[in-house]
Structure formats: C-alpha cells, structure tokens
Structure 1
Amino acid sequence: MIRKNGPLDFDVNAYTSSSVSTSINFWTQDRQTARLIFKLTKGGVPLPLAAVTGKLVLVMSDGSRFIRDVTIVDRVNGHAEYILSDQEIKHYGNVQAELNLYYTNDQSMSVHQFSFNISKSLIDQDIVPITEYYVDEFEALRAKINELYDEAILTIDELKAKFEDLEKIETKQGAQDKVDAALTKAKKYTDEHANNSEIHVVKDDTEKWNNGQLSKITADNGTPSIYVRDVNDSILDKFIDNGLGMGTFYAIAKSKDLPNNRSFRGFFHITDATNGKGTFGWVYATDYANNIYTNYLNNNVWSGWNRMLTEKDLSSTWNQVTLVTGTTKHFAGNPLKFSIRLNTLHLRGSFEGVPANDAVIARFAQKPSAKTVFVGATVGSYGSARFTLDTDGALRFDGMSANDNSFVSRFEINESIPLW
C-alpha cells in the first residue's frame, strides 16, 4: 500500500535532548497514509523489542490526546511503526509526541519525545476538529466491561430460569397428594370401565355364545350352501349327503329329481341322520314361475313333490275357449268357457254347428296326464256326443248319437277334467 513515511531514528540513552523537533509534515488529507517509522538503537546497536509493547502518546495542538499501540515490525532490529488514524490526521497543527516501551516484567521506558506538524489541506479549510481523547487501554477496558455486562445479563437470565425451576419443585407431601388424587381418579375410571356391560363381555354372553348354534344355512357371502350345476346331479341326493342340518340350495333347470323342468331355489332341513347320511327331513322349493313344492324324507325314502295351492288356484276365473277356425262356433246365449281350479280343467257352455268326426275343435295349454274321454248333450234332437281331451291339450269331437242326427244344431258341455 502507498504510505507517506516519516522516519525517526532514536538512540535510547539518558543524554538525548528531552524533545526533538522534526521536519516531518503531514496533511489533513493523508488518511491511512501518514506513517511514522521508528528505528531504535541502544549504545549504537539495534534495541531488541521482545516481550515489549510500544505506546505512542500524541498531544494535538487543539488539546486532543491519543495514546496508541505501535506496531512492532522487526523485534530483533528494533523497528516499529505507527499509521495515524483518520481521527488523528484531522487535528492540524504542531503535534507533541512521545514513544514509550512497556515490558512484560513491569519495566517501562520513555524512548524519546518529538514533534511533527500536520498541515491543513485546502479542502479542509472550513473544518474545525473537535477535541478528542482516546486511549487504547481504555477502549479495550470498555470492550471488556461490555463483554462482562453481556455475560452478567446472561448469568442473571440463567439464574432466573433456575429459580423458576426451584419454584416448580414441590414438597414431598404435595407430590404424594397428587399421586393419591391420580390413583383415586384411575381407580374410579377402571371400576366404571369394568362395570360397563355395554362394552364388555360378561359371563352370560359367553355362555350364550358357547351354547349357540354353530351351523350356517348359507355360505359366508350369503350364497346358497348347496349348488346343483350339472343336470345329471340329484338335488335330493345332495340333501341326504349333506347330513344333519339346515341349509339353502339352488338347482339348474332340468336337473334330476326336480318337480318340473324349471330351475329351483329353496331351503331344506335334515332332522336325523345315520352314519352322516340324512334319514329324515323336509324341503321347500320354488321355481322361477313362483310355484312352491314340498317334499318329505321318511326313513331314507322321499315321499314325492307336492305343489302348494295358491289363492290363484282357489279363485279361478272363467275364460272363453278359443275354437279352431272353421270347425264350429260359439253359441251366443251360452258360449263354451273354461276355468282351472285345484289342478282341474272345468268346461261349461255350448257351441253351434256339427263338426266332422275326429275333428280338433280347441287346444288347451293345460294338459291332462292321461287321455280323458267324456260326453256332452245334443240340442235339437235328444242324444249325446263324445269328446276326447288328449295329453297334448287337443279337444277332439269323436262323434254323436241322437234320435235324429239331422235335427242336432248345437252341443252342451259341463265337465271337470283332472290334470294330474
């Protein structure tokens, strides 16, 4: 860095003049560049500067006073220096100075007094410096005091925290009282909890569960417990093989041993068994047309399916028979009608015209289990006519026998034909 040097050679002895007036001149604008260089000797040889601190005392013309530490540059050859601070260089005028050495063994020595000049730069002509006093040791002391103050504040805060902890420490009796209160509260809670039958299993509950029925009537997902998916399988055999118990079932259409060719759903109960095979029991089955059938197992033998009669079976209506076109026609005063009740086909009414022998005059969806022959009355000439209801549901006119067949104009039928 650029410096404006003021060299000073001092020999330390007791004969040197008390103060030396130097020709050194600095300017108020020599900030951070005005440097005093000291070369110290004693007895003509360099003065060692080991274990020593150099202090430079500056007394300005305005009375300001500064005491500064000098920088030891070469301790062996006795070289030191000091760069005037910005505060010091602004105090223009004659400066009285003294360099002192302070050793660590408590010895001290005044090296020399001297003076130098600081001239006012043109740019600083209107500036009047304020009297100042600065001592390096004092500033260090102030910093130390501030540091101790901060430490004291921290210590006080820590003590406050500790006292707060002490205030929180309770007596032995106080702690015991809290423990007793907590135990009382806990006992009350556990007693109430233990006696709450709504959330706890009691002995009666376990006995009820242990004595409860363990078998299920459906699978866990609610589907039937027995399935028949093969038409060659018998649902009745499935019931027997299942053994004791109640359950639900499904059987596909046309599988073996069903009441009809429809698919069936229902439930069963085998009430007795031998060697794991059902011997007694019953079954209720419903086809997809909502017809209900029952069956009973009696000592290994099924009694057979029976259809349960419904309100529809017991309160049938009369419907006009649909005659085959071209064979005959209804008598308007009493047309031929039919009704199904209790699995029986009822026929009543009259039709006009004489059909050909063996002519099919009507077809019924309700079919008898066997061919049924019956007679009706002739009208116009006393006599009778023979009719046949075949197993395919065809109603056939077989012929007639009257006093004079040529006078017969119509026929009357009033007949009940079982369909089972």
Structure 2
Amino acid sequence: MIYKDSSVQFDVNSQIKRIISVNIQYSTQDIGTAKITFKLTKDGEPLPISNATHGKLFMRMADGSEFYVNTEVGDAFEGVLFYVLTNDQIKHAGTVTAELYVSYDNGQSLSVHKFSFEIDKALVDANIAPLAEYYIEDFEDLKADINKTTDEINQTLNEIKAKFDEFENIETKAGAQAKADAAEANAKAYTDLHAAKTDNPHKVTKSQVGLANVDNVKQAAKTDFDTHVADNVRHITADERTKWNGSQLFKVTNDVGGVLVSIGDTDDFYTKIIQSGRRFGTFYSTGKATNAASTNSTRGVFHMTSTDSNGQPSYGYVIAIDWQNNMFTNYLDPNLGWQGWRRVLTSSDLSPTWNSVTLINGAKQDSVYPLKFSVSNNVLWLRGSFGTLPAIGTSVAKFTNKPTQTVDFVVPTIGSYGTARFALTTDGDLRYDGMLANDGASVSRVSFNIGIPLW
C-alpha cells in the first residue's frame, strides 16, 4: 500500500503540554493514504506496546465533526502506533485538533499529547461541503438520535400531507389533467399547421440570419483538410521536434512530488533499486526491509549510471538518511556487487561527550579521577577510576549501551599495582571478575582507559 506517512514523536511524561502543530497537511483527495505514525517514548526509551495496550485517537474537525477511533500497532517493540484517515474523515477540510490516548486492560490510561494538523480542500472538491458527523460510543446515544430523527421525519410528513389537502381544495387531479390534455392538443394543432407552411410566413431575410456577411467562395475539399491534419511537420518545426525528443525523459519523483520508489517491510532494498533501471530517482524505505540502510525508516536518492548486457544496472550509488538525521551510503560495482552500507560520521561522533557513571553495589567514585563514559562510532569508552571493589561476580555499574556478546578485559589497579578483570555483559552490566596478580587487599582504586566495541 502507498501512504502519505507523516511521523510524530511524543514522549510520555507529566510536563506541561500545549497543543502543538505537527506540520502535517493532507488533501481531501488523499483517500485511503493519509497515515499518521506515532512514535512513543518513555524515559528516553520506546514505550512498550503489548496486547494489553490500546491506542485511542480523538479528532475534532474544522466543521465540528468529532471522531474517537482505535489506532493500530506499527511496531510493538519500538512503541509505534498508526492511524489511516477514512474516506469520510478526509473530506472534512480545515484545521483538525486531536489528542492521543493510551489505555491498558488493568484500568490505567495515559493522555499522550494534544496536537493539530491540516486537511487542505482539493480543487476538485471545491463544491463539496461535508456534513458534521459524530462518533456515537454507546447504544443509548444511538437510540436517542434515531428517535429524534424519526420525530422530525413524522413532523415533515404531516406538513406535506397538509399541503396536499390544500391542493385538493384548489383543483382535483382529474380536472387538472383534463385541462393539461386540452392545452397540449391545441398547442400541437397550431404547431403542425405552422410547420406545414413553406411560404416563409415570418418574411425572414438573409441579412437577418447573417448570410449577407458570408463570401460566396469555393471551400477546400475534405481530402485537403485531411492531408493538412496528417502533416505533423507543419505544426512544429524540425528543430523543435529534435529538441523535445532529446530532452530528459525520466522522472525523479512521482506525479505528485512524492518518492519514485517505495520499499516496504517485505521488500529487498537492492532488488527494488535495481528494478528501477538506469536512472536518477528518490526513494522511501522502511527499517524492516531486507538490506535496509538502518532499522529506522529512511529517505534518499539513488543513481544507477550504466547497465550490463542483460539491461540490469551495473554501476550506481545510494544515499539514505533516517529520521534521526543519520546518513548512510552504498555503492554498486559490477565485479564486487553492493559494497554494504557505511554511516557518515559527524562532529558529534568524532568529538563525544563524557558522562558520569552511576556506581552500584558499594563501589565508590574517585574524587580526583571519577569514572566517566562516552559512546561514539558504536564503541563504549571508559576513563577514570573508582575504589571499594565489591564481591567477585558483582556488577559495579549498568549501561544502556550493550554489546552483542560479552566482552572480557583487564585494567590496572592502583595501590597494589596488580590487574583486575572486568566484563561488559549483553545486559549492559559492568561486572567485577576478580584479580589476576594478587588478592586485592592493598588496592585503593582501579583505573580505566579503554574502548569496548558494541557490535
């Protein structure tokens, strides 16, 4: 399916929330394609969504219509919900004020955020004025509305019946029909008599109908007109035709300015780009597509510059940017194939920020050289020191940045000048695993200056 997918990111917290404009605009002709994707976070992490979680969306349209609807789950692990506006809802042009709620089976519920977006009335819908609609949540409201409508219909029928009674007093149906039949017969007789006259009874002259202004000259034969119509050279010059035929023939976007190639969850990124042929174009890809640049959705451009003997692109490149503003590149070589995605490093990657480590289980920060951490280019860096080692096998700190497999390493100790063993586990625990050279009785602190890969 093709959607105008607009992404909104909300954090679930108790801070003051004002209605925000999310800079989204749909058209009344976006039928079945106006999709709003909500990415929810809580305490800096994606909000977990399970079978016990229900997303509700309330919308108040510009004409007073109100809708209270269920959202759908886009990605339970990443906290993603979405809703596609119905054919009736998209016809309500103007500013839409909305609020997203999350409720749970245990009775808890959350108001996530209030926001607004726009529905622009398409030119083709200029004369369409949608009626106000309201979503009815229970049967009693529905029953009351039906009873009210029934009373109004009965009142209208009674008024119509009274009008017919008045008409019967004025003229009977049979009498009116007889008069109409007589008028029709008289009119037909007069018309037939007038049509049978051939002596120009109204004395019309050629000047009165404009024939005096027509030259009495010979007209070209139909074959001459047909020859002219078939002569395409007469309609444009040969240079113009050559120029037009040699112009750029490939589109960069689709007909409405959207991406040229859409890559879905079940698609292979490389295959979809190759199928576009030799061209320059734009694309959108979900983060779930095979060989996607990122686990986040991406947008970007591609340029396939040549083809092989089978007409398939053999050289080309792709530039992709995800919604977190990370840039990735890839290159196609006829001998080596796709080179694989490479993320472009930024100034924040090359100049990381150092953060204090929260120690646990009795470990104490060194006042002069406290333990700090930084993450850059998928590497966890540790520097500084701490004292008061806990029991062997005990965690001294916990990180949200986790390696794909446990990493063992050693660091020097101060005081005894020995070596302490540590491990960073796949749960993010910095675990103390004992000493190598002594029993640690005279160790005053351990010192870190190490980078730990997270892949």
> Which of the two has higher C-alpha Rg?
1
Q: Which has the higher strand share?
A: 1
Name the TM-score, length of structure 2 as normaliser: 0.45
Name the TM-score, length of structure 1 as normaliser: 0.48
